[in-house]
Structure 1
């Protein structure tokens, strides 16, 4: 059964996809934002990065083999735990999802900085146009 909540693999994949869309929009110039608006988003991203980095001990524990015994049921449960953490058996795995999200958060910060540049360029172009008229 998939994990529910803010840090499920599915929710992290959705956040990753949204941040990739943000990056593409900023790079294409179709997304622009004022510096003051971007600062709030960047702060939220940095807080999420800190929270994710705080999961490092938990990630380490998830990567450890579970010692449930040698019975077939114990081995099946150990395999299930490993696949849930690392992926396999039709699941992405929480650890790969976390790593994808870390990368997407960094991309989102870069996209916001690019969107601020886009805003400045549009603002400067508008100001120059007004000066000419």
Structure 2
């Protein structure tokens, strides 16, 4: 699995925000990229999607309340851990952050395809403005 910092809820929220911005730029036509240029981004997106699929297996271990004893501290820490997984006061929850990132990555992949279409349209219209002799 990737390092913890790479998949923190905060980093996933930041990536989600960036992916949404990418989608909006592509849909508005303000972002265009060649097919060759898009391939590296699409591969990175698909790699991240595969890594998140692997993370899903680890999440199964997190959704159960950890058994940390019956002491007040053990119970409190157990609740705190569960709150970080599912969300609660002061936290989005790692599961929601992962789900949001999955959706955003798919939107980013589609945005790259739209940006390639934008590039083709721009390239085609630019080619049409030159006269051939």
* TM-score category (smaller protein): over 0.9
Query: Which residue number corresponds to residue 45 of structure 1?
Result: 45
Q: Does 1:107 align with 2:81?
A: no
Which structure 1 segments of 5+ residues have no match? none
Q: Match for residue 64 of structure 1? A: 64
The RMSD of aligned alpha carbons is 1.4
Q: CA offset at residue 66 of structure 1?
A: 1.0
1:65-107 per-residue CA deviation (whole Å, 9 max, x = no partner) reads 1122332212111110111111112111111111110000000
Structure 1 SS opposite 2:89: coil
Report the number of matched residues: 130
- Give me the whole-angstrom Cα distance separating, in 1, the residues matched to 2:101 and 2:120: 28
Q: Please report the TM-score for the alignment, with normalisation by the length of structure 2.
A: 0.93
* Offset of residue 129 of structure 1: 1.2
- C-alpha separation between the residues in 1 aligned to 2:131 and 2:46? 39
Deviates more, 1:58-67 or 1:102-111: 58-67
What CA distance in whole angstroms lies between the structure 1 residues aligned with 2:125 and 2:50? 37
Map 1:1-133 onto structure 2 (within 5 A): 5-131=5-131
| Gap runs ≥5 in structure 2 | none
TM-score (norm. length: structure 1): 0.93
Distance 2:29 2:131 in 1: 23
